[in-house]
């Protein structure tokens, strides 16, 4: 009798372990910047280079998920990628039209409204609205793209408050949708920034690093205001690709 109970317990434990593996909800968040094809920055890619990268990620077996799927937890397994784009550069528009949209990839565009419709660097307000209406999610990236690190708060707290308090309203008025996500300028957060973002009504905030850091949506320790993203450079994309392949083999 005791032996049967032990075998039953072991069977149930194994079954629960398998169920947990099947219920994995992990996503790798990649962040891009510009698609000018200028060959002057390690952060800049041509649309052809972007297309090849997206196809290589798909060939590995990864699925591209949307921000809505991420926020609602509608993600299964660990072969998931969320594409984000920082700054709101004018090259986002053709990159979506020529590459991402055609592949069903709905990126998150984290823009800072201090430049939107105001400089040649950035998207126009009309372009940002069109991208939002086409399925791209829009998030805030500060107002003028200033640091929100502890050092920045100590140096000029008023400037930091502008970065946190102004962008949601400005972007919301352009796209006609609430702005609930925030990407820290330069990828660097601070405890004070996290607290103030929560008070402003943001629900998620994202940092940025140069190496893979998968996000486990099932983890009780996941900090909604310090979610890691992986910056894509020319030099590290082969490393990212290799790391993503090893994740699935593991």
DSSP string, 189-219: --HHHHHHHHHTT--EEE--BSS---EETT-
Count: domains in the chain: 1
Residues 83, 139, 158: CA angle, nearest 5 degrees: 135
Q: Is the pLDDT of residue 4 over 80?
A: no
Name 230's bridge partners. Answer: 30, 209
Owning domain of residue 233:
25-249
Distance CA 64, CA 57 (A): 9
Judge whether 18 lies within some domain.
Answer: no
Report if pTM > 0.85: yes
Residue 36 maps to a domain: yes
Q: Whats the size of the chain, residue-wise?
A: 250
Residue with tokens 């528009």: 93
CATH value at residue 175:
3.20.20.370
Could you give the CA distance from residue 105 to residue 45 in angstroms, rounded to a whole number?
17
pLDDT confidence of 24, banded at 50, 70, 90?
confident
Share of the chain above pLDDT 90, in %: 89
Tens-digit pLDDT profile for residues 114-145: 999 999 999 999 999 999 999 999 999 999 99
Place 91 in a pLDDT band, splitting at 50, 70 and 90: very high
What integer pLDDT is reported at residue 205 of this predicted model? 98
Rounded to a whole number of angstroms, the distance between the first and last alpha carbons of the chain is 38
pLDDT mean over 95-121: 98
**Structural domain includes residue 11:** no
How does the average pLDDT of the chain come out, rounded?
A: 92
**Residue 179: its pLDDT value, please?**
98
Whether the pLDDT of residue 14 is over 60: the answer is no
pLDDT tens sequence across 220-230: 999 999 999 99
State yes or no: pLDDT of 33 exceeds 70: yes
Q: Which tens digits make up the pLDDT trace of 162-203? A: 999 999 999 999 999 999 999 999 999 999 999 999 999 999
Please check whether residue 170 lies inside any domain of the structure.
yes
- The four Cα atoms 33, 203, 164, 131 give a dihedral, to 10 degrees, of 40
Residue 9 included in any domain = no
pLDDT score recorded for residue 23 = 53
Q: Within a domain: residue 164?
A: yes
| Beta strand 26-32 pairing with 215-216 | antiparallel
CA dihedral (229, 235, 238, 242) in degrees, to 10, reads -60
Is residue 14 assigned to a domain?
Answer: no
Bridge partners of 87, per DSSP, are 111
Contact at 8 Å (CB) between 206 and 186? no
The two tokens of residue 71 are 């926020």
Name which of 234, 246, 181 is nearest 210 in CA terms.
Answer: 234
15 in a structural domain: no
Q: How far apart are the C-alpha atoms of 111 and 89, rounded to whole Å?
A: 8
């Amino acid at each position: 009798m005791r032996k049967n109970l032990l075998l039953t317990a072991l069977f149930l434990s194994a079954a629960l372990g398998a169920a947990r593996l099947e219920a994995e909800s992990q996503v790798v968040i990649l962040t891009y910047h510009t698609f000018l094809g200028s060959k002057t920055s390690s952060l800049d890619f041509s649309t052809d280079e972007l297309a090849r990268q997206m196809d290589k990620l798909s060939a590995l077996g990864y699925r591209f998920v949307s921000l809505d799927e991420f926020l609602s937890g509608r993600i299964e397994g660990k072969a998931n990628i969320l594409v984000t784009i920082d700054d709101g550069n004018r090259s986002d528009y053709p990159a979506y039209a020529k590459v991402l949209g055609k592949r069903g990839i709905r990126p998150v565009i984290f823009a800072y409204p201090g430049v939107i419709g105001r400089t040649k660097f950035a998207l126009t307000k009309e372009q940002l609205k069109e991208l939002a209406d086409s399925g791209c999610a829009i998030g805030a990236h500060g107002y003028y793209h200033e640091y929100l690190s502890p050092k920045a708060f100590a140096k000029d707290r008023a400037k930091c408050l502008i970065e946190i308090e102004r962008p949601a309203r400005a972007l919301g008025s352009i796209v006609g949708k609430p702005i609930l996500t925030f990407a820290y300028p330069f990828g660097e957060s601070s405890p004070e920034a996290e607290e103030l973002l929560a008070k402003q009504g943001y629900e998620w905030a994202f940092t940025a690093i140069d190496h893979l850091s998968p996000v486990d949506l099932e983890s009780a320790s996941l900090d909604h205001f310090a979610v890691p993203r992986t910056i894509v450079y020319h030099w590290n994309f082969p490393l990212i690709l290799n790391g993503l392949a090893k994740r699935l083999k593991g």
